[in-house]
Amino acid sequence: MPVLLGTSVVPLDSTVNVAFPAIAGAFGLEVPAIQWIVICYTLTYGSLMLAVGRIGDIFGHLRVFRAGLVWSAAAFLLCALAPTYPALLGARVLQGIGAALVIGCGPALATLLFPDEMRARALAAYATAFAAGAAIGPLAGGVLVQAFGWEAVYWIRTPVTLAALALLRGVAAAPGPGRRETFDAAGALLFTTTVATMLLAVNRAPSMLALLLAAVAAACLGGFLWWSARSPRPLIDLGLFRRPGFAALNLANMLVNLASFAVMLVGPFYLARIAGLPALWLGFVLAAAPLGGMLGSSLGGWAVARFGARPVVLAGAALTATGLLVVAFCGAATPIAAVVFAFALQGVGVGLFTLAYTDVVTATMRREDRGVAGSLAMLTRTLGVVTAASVLTLLFGATEASLLAGGAAAEDAFLGAFHRVFLVAAALPALALPLLARRAG
């Protein structure tokens, strides 16, 4: 399916995680500096996501999706050709814009091409394909980095993007609303600024700059809430968050994704430094997490139809916490098979949770708001990922520095920081369980 192929260029960004050690070596970076590879990209598409979903609802999801593929193809080449680290970060911002255009409309395309009674199955196929891209990424990334260098994890996606564009020529757009609605530009600007400044404030904490950014975020959020209450057609209907369990479910999605990103953020350095794996094998081991996500997404479509969303989100959060807790106790002598099992287990949990969560959000919102519904699901996921890149990196760096200052050997300091990060990560989905137990769907 061309939509699934086109969407795959976004989760294929997991190839970049395998290249973290190589990128750090090429530009002479310390581990904490690598967070900006994640932040510049995810902060950009995360802050734009909701606005893009609304634009797709108004002007056509397929049209916006195609524009995103064209933009992404160019951005991948700019990343590969970046001569300096700042240039690479700038190209990652451009890549984030393309990603927002693609995944801001991808879930809507996946559901609107099928009748509502097939919604869970369509979402399961979309989520499985998304997880497949994330799984192929580390596998391909290991081969590419070892054979061609870190640049290959970017330029390899340009031909994939162009192939999807070619195949989309035969896809007809789903019927749109009879009357074109207006786009809430003021609301979109306020919301985008809120998300961007809030995430930067988290990243810069603790500092005076963080306080300033937090103040700007609070002011913009207040402005967005005030404006949305008075706008005849706001960016998103805020009344949805007054429904029982809806706000809690979105918060839980953020926590689960915040926790699970620890695998892709810190995992590559554990596998390279402690396990001593070359890039090729590192990619194979990292792929266990998204492969588990594929399995979880596939099972989730069946489980939601049979049992409903509530038990599925609870099971997903519990499995995520369990898998991350197992990772927290991995050390220098841990067999790689045990690491693979733990990565896969938390991946299954995330796949189950994400499928059930997305189904609830999509069912809650109007059919003509499917772009916003899909974007909300991706936005809360992205908030978790960017927060993880900031908070978990800060936690890792502070713990490692403290242990080194106390006289610990380099390997012991790394493992101490690694264990603490994953213990915190395992606690987050567990904290989400009481929220979900009240009402998950």
- Encode pLDDT of 331-370 as tens digits: 888 899 999 999 999 999 999 998 888 877 776 666 656 5
219, 228, 227: which is closest to 193 by C-alpha?
A: 219
Domain that holds residue 283: 2-171+235-438
CB neighbour burial string for 239-270, b if at least 16 within 10 angstroms, e if fewer: ebeeeebbebbbbbbbbbbbbbbbbbbbbbbb
Q: Quick check: 304 and 441 in contact, CB under 8 A? A: no
Element containing residue 274 per DSSP (H, E): none
> 35-59 and 370-405 helices cross at what angle (nearest 10)?
170
CB under 8 A, 24+ apart: contacts of 307-312: 308/441, 309/356, 309/357, 309/359, 309/360, 309/440, 309/441, 310/436, 310/439, 310/440, 310/441, 312/352, 312/353, 312/355, 312/356
320, 309, 424: which is closest to 362 by C-alpha?
A: 309
Cα 375 vs. chain centroid, distance in angstroms? 12
393, 384, 432, 395: which is closest to 199 by C-alpha?
A: 384
- Listed in sequence order, the residues at least 6 apart from 51 whose beta carbon sits closer than 8 Å to its beta carbon are 104, 188, 191, 192, 235
Total domains, the chain: 1
Confidence at residue 441, expressed as pLDDT on a 0 to 100 scale? 44
Confidence at residue 166, expressed as pLDDT on a 0 to 100 scale? 86
Q: Give the DSSP per-residue string, 376-388.
A: HHHHHHHHHHHHH
**Is residue 342 classed exposed, middle or buried when 0-12, 13-18 and 19+ CB atoms within 10 A define those classes?**
buried
In a domain, 253, yes or no: yes
Residues of the chain with pLDDT under 50: 178, 440-441
DSSP state of 441: -
**What's the helix, strand, coil split of the chain in %, to 5?**
85, 0, 15
As a whole number of angstroms, the distance between CA 410 and CA 407 comes to 9
In a domain, 203, yes or no: no
Q: What token pair was written down for 17?
A: 């995680």
185, 168, 300, 173: which is closest to 234 by C-alpha?
A: 185
In a domain, 312, yes or no: yes
**Is residue 181 classed exposed, middle or buried when 0-12, 13-18 and 19+ CB atoms within 10 A define those classes?**
middle
Confidence at residue 28, expressed as pLDDT on a 0 to 100 scale? 85
As a whole number of angstroms, the distance between CA 29 and CA 169 comes to 43
**Is residue 15 classed exposed, middle or buried when 0-12, 13-18 and 19+ CB atoms within 10 A define those classes?**
buried
**CATH code of the domain covering residue 112:** 1.20.1250.20
In a domain, 306, yes or no: yes
**Is residue 130 classed exposed, middle or buried when 0-12, 13-18 and 19+ CB atoms within 10 A define those classes?**
buried
- Listed in sequence order, the residues at least 6 apart from 435 whose beta carbon sits closer than 8 Å to its beta carbon are 248, 249, 251, 252
In a domain, 217, yes or no: no
In a domain, 211, yes or no: no
Confidence at residue 440, expressed as pLDDT on a 0 to 100 scale? 44
DSSP state of 113: T
Confidence at residue 11, expressed as pLDDT on a 0 to 100 scale? 84
Q: Give the DSSP per-residue string, 30-75.
A: -GGGGHHHHHHHHHHHHHHHHHHHHHHHHH-HHHHHHHHHHHHHHH
Q: What token pair was written down for 314?
A: 């609870």
Q: Which residue reads 């879930």 in tokens?
A: 107
As a whole number of angstroms, the distance between CA 170 and CA 9 comes to 20
In a domain, 195, yes or no: no
- Listed in sequence order, the residues at least 6 apart from 380 whose beta carbon sits closer than 8 Å to its beta carbon are 250, 251, 253, 254, 257
H-state helical runs in 205-334: 208-230, 246-269, 279-286, 288-307, 309-328
In a domain, 152, yes or no: yes
Confidence at residue 147, expressed as pLDDT on a 0 to 100 scale? 86
Q: What token pair was written down for 60?
A: 């056509």
Confidence at residue 170, expressed as pLDDT on a 0 to 100 scale? 67
